[in-house]
Structures are given as C-alpha cells and as structure tokens.
Amino acid sequence: MDPFSLASHAALVTGSSQGIGLALALGIQQAGARVVFHGKDTPPPTLPPGAPFLAGDLLAADGPAHLVTAAFAQEPALDRLVCNAGSFFDRPFLELDAATLERTLNLNVRANYFLVQAFARELVARRRPGAVVIVSSTNGFQSEADATAYDTSKGASVMMTRTLAQALAPHGIRVNGVAPGLIRTPLNAWMTESPETVRHYEKKILLGRIGAPDDCAGAAVFLLSAASRYLTGQIIVVDGGLTTGQIARM
C-alpha cells in the first residue's frame, strides 16, 4: 500500500475556500481522502463539483465546536484535521488597539485550539486514531515589520503544535505543523504584485521565486499520511529557503 495515500481517510480543512487552505484541501483530496471544505460564508466556485462545504465563523465563541460537530455529521469517518483558517489585521505597533490584538489571537490561536480539542474529543469517544496539521507561518520564528499581533499569534501556533502533540499522543492522535513562507495569496497580494518587492524577495529566497499555494500541499499530505506515522510535534517550513540564508543575493 502507498504510505502517502490518504484513500482510507476523511479530512476537515478549515479556511479552504481560497488561498493556501484551498490548495491544501485539493492536494489532500488528490491523495485520496474525502474532504470537507470550510469557509466563513458561501462556497466559492473554485470548489470541486459536489464537494461538501460547511460555512462557519470561527470567531464566534461556539464556532469551532459547531464546525466540528457539523463536519462529523457530514463525514462520520473523519480522522484528519487541518487548522488553516486565519488572517492578518495588523497596523503599526504604536497604533494597534486591544480589539485588533484580540481578534487576531481569537482567530489564529483560540479557534484552532478549540477546533483540535473538539476534534480530539470526537476521536477519543470513537476510539479512533487521527492526525492534525496546524498551519502556522515563518512569522512564528522570525518577526516582520508592522506584524506584531500576527507574529505573536503564529509563534503561539508553533508552540500549540508541540504542546497538543504531547497532550494527544496517548490517544493515538498526531499533531504536526506546516509553516509557509511568502506564498502568493489574496491576503498578501499587495506584497506579491509589486515588481520591486517581488525582485527583493526573489533575491532572498534560495529557490528564486515566491511560492504558490499548492507548494504547501505536499507537506500537509505527508504529515496526514502513514508515511509520517512516527512524526508528531514537528513543523515543516515551506518557504523555498527564505529563512535559511542571512543575506540576499546581490
């Protein structure tokens, strides 16, 4: 049997209506899994025909638990979870208010924490092993200008991956992470559409290009598959070498 196949599995991928989340969900589906897609509002036309889609606001206090309940109702064999939903709301540090910080932490950290908790409770009740992937960012390891709230949330996501891996290992649930670098998404279009900025990053990224969303899919598929059965608490950085070198090429 192909250890990278997900043919016998079912996955919920949050924030999978666009960008990295959509690419992860499609990659997981291509690896054979049945995938439940998720977004805040209505399903986008980019979803595969007939794909199950759940709408839900993860900023709502009961949003994560409701989403997990609905996902198990849609796909009772669910045993894989990708926590991808998140966003960036920053302003310069001296201008950032409490509401913006709380919104960032609630979506990028709190929602994922309780998503994993609700998912794990369902698996434990069914005596079913599983695997979780938490999408963090290279911002969880290296700071970025005018991104204090986002950087803080992604640093928390890195530690959350590790501590939840320890908490859930006795139940046969693995928790790992994917940390994308600079990837072309609707969220950072202002950065990736500027020719000057693109040239700057292409000199810094060892592989010489800004990433595409589907560059992240293979890492997620690997971490959800039997090929990574002895990995937990690990984070795969997917950044084309952006964070490897110190000084950009001239």
* pLDDT > 70 fraction of the chain, expressed in percent and rounded: 99
pLDDT of amino acid 171: 98
* pLDDT band (50, 70, 90) for residue 45: confident
What is the CATH number assigned to the segment(s) 10-238? 3.40.50.720
Statement: residue 70 has pLDDT above 80: yes
Query: Exposure of 51 by Cβ count < 10 A (0-12 exposed, 13-18 middle, 19+ buried)?
Result: middle
**Domain map (residue ranges) of the chain:** 10-238
pLDDT digits (tens, 9 = 90+) for 134-186: 999 999 999 999 999 999 999 999 999 999 999 999 999 999 999 999 999 88
* pLDDT band (50, 70, 90) for residue 46: confident
Beta strands in 45-167 (DSSP E): 53-55, 80-83, 130-135
Compute the average pLDDT of residues 106-111.
98
* pLDDT band (50, 70, 90) for residue 250: confident
Mean pLDDT for the chain overall: 95
Query: Exposure of 89 by Cβ count < 10 A (0-12 exposed, 13-18 middle, 19+ buried)?
Result: middle
Catalytic residue list? 137, 150, 154
Q: What is the DSSP letter of 232?
A: -
